[in-house]
Amino acid sequence: MSFGPKPWQQTNWDWRAAGNFIGGGAGSGLIIITALAGVKGTAAVALLLAGLALVGLGLSCVWLELGRPLRALHVFFNPRVSWMTREAIAATVLFPVGIAAAAGVYGGMTGLVWLPAALALVFVYCQGRMLNAAKGIRAWREPLMLPLVLATSLAEGAGLFFLALPWHGKGGALIVLLFGVLLLARAAIWIAYRQRLAGRMAARANRALDRAGRVLLIGGTAVPMALLLAVLAAGGASGVALGSLAGLAAALGGAYVKFTLITRAGFNQGFALQEVPVRGARWLGNG
């Protein structure tokens, strides 16, 4: 069913749109976490460029989704009303600033890393508002969608940061603590989000989000939290390996939630008529 009083699943956004939210969110989160961790030198440059590459990969997925890719520039035409336009503008500024910042950081100007980090936060904010603006889809218009997207993107970025821990080795106690806080914040927002939607969506959407919730809370939160505790206890090479595994689990859990939100939980709510025309009757049910 594509139209009627019963909820139906939207078909405009598929795995390619989900790829934008996954790649763009994780890449932006990685840029932000790199700035917060105070990484310097070659490691900072590589992490910045990796974050930009993920954002670019996500945007490429959206470009593939367009029926007429050569008309992609039309997305810039509505900055006053469209969060998709604002996301595109933020990305357009992010790339040159990010590349310039990477070059500056390589030359010793470490403070420049905060410029792409600020733009990455704006980019993720636009992504959250873009979903929030889809008022016909109950799972997306929920006000907690915006903080959920922000928290998930930051946790994914921290996960990727720790996944690369064997290479850059910047996993001190403070960044481990930050990673744990982000994981717990994401889990708390998810639980509140699901409670607010309980009984208010199509049955298939509820089942999809319940599966995603189990993956997020167990595989994407409990497992990496246990591994982070082991990191603090073990230290050394063992701690680095455990931290990398924690990062992988956290990133995959967030990616699965985003994929589910876009492709499996995006049900339009349908419509309801409080009064319907009945021949010979003024109100429904009054004979």
Q: Does the pTM of the predicted model rise above 0.85?
A: yes
One-letter identity of residue 39: V
pLDDT on residue 71: 63
Is 64 buried (19+), middle (13-18) or exposed (0-12) by CB count in 10 A?
exposed
CA distances (Å), origin 23, targets 18, 61, 163, 267, 273: 8, 9, 15, 23, 40
Rounded distance between C-alpha atoms, residue 76 and residue 86, angstroms? 8
In a domain, 50, yes or no: yes
How many domains does the chain contain in total? 1
Max distance between CA atoms of the chain, in angstroms, equals 82
What does the block give as tokens for 74?
Answer: 């039309």
The answer to whether residue 252 scores a pLDDT higher than 60 is yes
Q: For tokens 């246990």, what's the residue?
A: 226
In a domain, 287, yes or no: no
Q: Where are the beta strands (DSSP E) in the chain?
A: 8-9, 267-268
In a domain, 2, yes or no: no
Which has the closest alpha carbon to 272: 2, 4, 1? 4
pLDDT on residue 72: 61
What does the block give as tokens for 83?
Answer: 């969060």
pLDDT on residue 286: 45
Q: How many CB atoms lie within 10 A of CB 193?
A: 19
What does the block give as tokens for 114?
Answer: 């905060």
In a domain, 274, yes or no: no
Q: What CATH number should be reported for the domain holding residue 47?
A: 1.20.1630.10
In a domain, 285, yes or no: no
Domain region containing 58? 8-268
In a domain, 235, yes or no: yes
Backbone angles phi, psi at 154, to 5 degrees: -65, -40
pLDDT on residue 6: 73
In a domain, 277, yes or no: no
Query: Which of 47-56, 58-67, 112-121 shows the lowest mean pLDDT across its residues?
Result: 58-67
Sign of the alpha-carbon dihedral angle for 78, 79, 81, 85: positive
Contact assessment for residue 28 and residue 153, using Cβ atoms and an 8 Å cutoff: yes
Query: Which of 59-68, 123-132, 159-168, 219-228 shows the lowest mean pLDDT across its residues?
Result: 59-68
Integer Rg of the chain from CA: 21
The answer to whether residue 245 scores a pLDDT higher than 60 is yes
As a whole number, mean pLDDT of residues 109-125 equals 95
pLDDT on residue 285: 47
pLDDT band, very low/low/confident/very high, at 234 (cuts 50, 70, 90): confident
Rounded distance between C-alpha atoms, residue 258 and residue 212, angstroms? 9
In a domain, 150, yes or no: yes
User: DSSP string covering 103-139, please?
Assistant: HHHHTT-GGGGHHHHHHHHHHHHHHHHHHHT-TTBHH
Collect all residues with Cβ–Cβ distance below 8 Å to 218 and sequence separation of at least 6.
none
What does the block give as tokens for 216?
Answer: 């997020």
Query: Which of 21-25, 163-167, 255-259, 277-281 shows the lowest mean pLDDT across its residues?
Result: 277-281
Rounded distance between C-alpha atoms, residue 22 and residue 251, angstroms? 9
